[in-house]
Amino acid sequence: MEASTSAGRQPAFSSKPCLDSIGTTIFTVMSALAAEHKAVNLGQGFPDFACDPALVDAVTQAMQAGHNQYPPMVGVPVLRQAICHKIVALHQRQYNADTEITITAGATQGIITAILAIVRAGDEVIVLEPCYDSYVPNIELAGGVAVRVPLTPGTFRPDFAKIAAAMTPRTRAIIINSPHNPSATVWSDADMQALQNMLAPTDVLLISDEVYEHMVFDGQQHQSAARFDGLAARAFIVSSFGKTYHVTGWKIGYVAAPAFLMAEFRKVHQFNVFTVNTPVQYGLAQYMANPAPYLELPAFYQRKRDLFRTGLAKTRLKLLPSEGSYFQCVDISEVSDLGEADFCQWLTREIGVAAIPLSAFYGNGFDQRVVRFCFAKQDQTLQSALQRLQKL
């Protein structure tokens, strides 16, 4: 008889096909490289400054008041009502707090939950590249097929002829993102009208990623899907408290959708998350009673954008427009012959500033010699980065 071994046999196992090629994200890689080389990290998109102490106080008070057990699966009523009031005030669209708003564990969870709720095996979902890196894996995990349509290189505007050409009888949905990560472009009223007209004769659903909704500059207005009857009637609108209130680590957001879509969304939500942090919900509801923090956000980030752009203008990096979000893209063609990924590695090691290559947001790694910086940083962080970048 063979002697037994203390270690059990490791079962043969392989990744799901849709996960085979997925490794560590570029954001993790660049943040680790930045830490290794003591570089200023303008790569990953999160603030390095604190949120309003009043928000922390509101959450603390909620904890002390005993709001520490499970909340309702769809979110506490007072927060859902506050969201409805905000959407009415900003976009003149009335949602029902009971049936059309759900609190999520961040926007990323809201997006995958919407996709899992509506995408069946073989369904196609149009994504506009460059795009946030969760979209395609989410679609494939749902058994769907991602149909990649490029935004216009250089301007990153939607090409509706190409989008329309990509639509087939199997198209279940399209995902849009404005203000846009990574390009910092903002869809106009005309863009949204064109999308509405294109979708009008179809049953195609819309997932509108609006996490940077309060970061729109130069007097522009955020064109939420909620503003357009024909879009709101078919849309999951996704937003993020983490982005708006500088608390990305809290991972809390929300989704608004017509009741018939929200009913499907909640069928998935109750099993992949069930519910979301209770005291944070109560604290946010209290804090939202004052709209000033989100109404003042465009000016807050526009000042940082302008500070950063003024410094970048003293380098050989070519500035692309930054209409919204907290990102700034630059063309590196006059600085280096390296491709985007190699340039970002070199910039981190040799100059001491971390950035993200736009090629990481394309399925085929399309390299147009453009990299992305995040300016959601303290002024001293931006000044330190600019001093280093002016060596270029």
Segment 188-212 mean pLDDT: 98
At residue 3, does pLDDT exceed 80? no
- pLDDT at residue 23, rounded to an integer: 76
Cα 284 to Cα 215, 261, 296, 373: the distances in Å are 19, 25, 17, 29
- Residue 167's Cβ-side half-sphere holds a number of Cα atoms within 13 Å equal to 20
State whether 75 and 186 are in the same domain: yes
Tokens at 325, concatenated: 């979000």
Cα 167 to Cα 99, 202, 269: the distances in Å are 30, 10, 28
Give the tens place of pLDDT for each residue, 238-255: 999 999 999 999 999 999
At residue 183, does pLDDT exceed 80? yes
- pLDDT at residue 5, rounded to an integer: 55
Q: Strand order of the sheet with strand 253-256? A: 101-104, 253-256, 235-240, 205-209, 171-177, 124-129, 145-150
State whether 30 and 82 are in the same domain: no
At residue 8, does pLDDT exceed 90? no
Domain assignment of residue 6, yes or no:
no
State whether 237 and 311 are in the same domain: no
State whether 188 and 332 are in the same domain: no
Give the tens place of pLDDT for each residue, 32-62: 999 999 999 999 889 999 999 999 999 999 9
Domain assignment of residue 104, yes or no:
yes
Segment 116-129 mean pLDDT: 98
Segment 87-114 mean pLDDT: 98
Q: How far apart are CA 15 and CA 27, in angstroms?
A: 22
Domain assignment of residue 4, yes or no:
no
Question: CATH number of the domain that 231 lies in?
Answer: 3.40.640.10
Tokens at 32, concatenated: 């680790």
At residue 171, does pLDDT exceed 80? yes
| Residue after which a domain boundary falls, among 290, 320, 352 | 290
Number of neighbours of residue 66 by Cβ within 10 angstroms? 9
At residue 147, does pLDDT exceed 80? yes
Q: How far apart are CA 294 and CA 94, in angstroms?
A: 19
Domain assignment of residue 202, yes or no:
yes
State whether 26 and 68 are in the same domain: no
Segment 332-357 mean pLDDT: 97
| Domain hosting residue 334, numbered range | 17-46+296-389
Domain assignment of residue 340, yes or no:
yes
- pLDDT at residue 1, rounded to an integer: 53
- pLDDT at residue 2, rounded to an integer: 54
Mean pLDDT across the chain: 96
State whether 201 and 76 are in the same domain: yes
State whether 233 and 353 are in the same domain: no
Percent of the chain whose predicted confidence (pLDDT) is above 70: 98
| Residue after which a domain boundary falls, among 290, 321, 355 | 290
State whether 36 and 58 are in the same domain: no
At residue 159, does pLDDT exceed 90? yes
Q: For the chain, how many structural domains are there in total?
A: 2
**CA-based end-to-end distance of the chain:** 71
State whether 22 and 129 are in the same domain: no
Domain assignment of residue 2, yes or no:
no
State whether 27 and 130 are in the same domain: no
Question: CATH number of the domain that 335 lies in?
Answer: 3.90.1150.10
> Has this prediction a pTM greater than 0.85?
yes
Buried b (16+ CB within 10 A) or exposed e, 23-45: eeebbebbbebbeeeebbbbbbb
State whether 270 and 308 are in the same domain: no
Total number of residues shown for the chain: 392
- Residue 213's Cβ-side half-sphere holds a number of Cα atoms within 13 Å equal to 27
Domain assignment of residue 373, yes or no:
yes
Domain assignment of residue 1, yes or no:
no
State whether 66 and 35 are in the same domain: no
| Residue after which a domain boundary falls, among 290, 324, 341 | 290
Quickly state the pLDDT bin for 6 (edges 50, 70, 90).
low
- pLDDT at residue 28, rounded to an integer: 87
Segment 68-75 mean pLDDT: 98
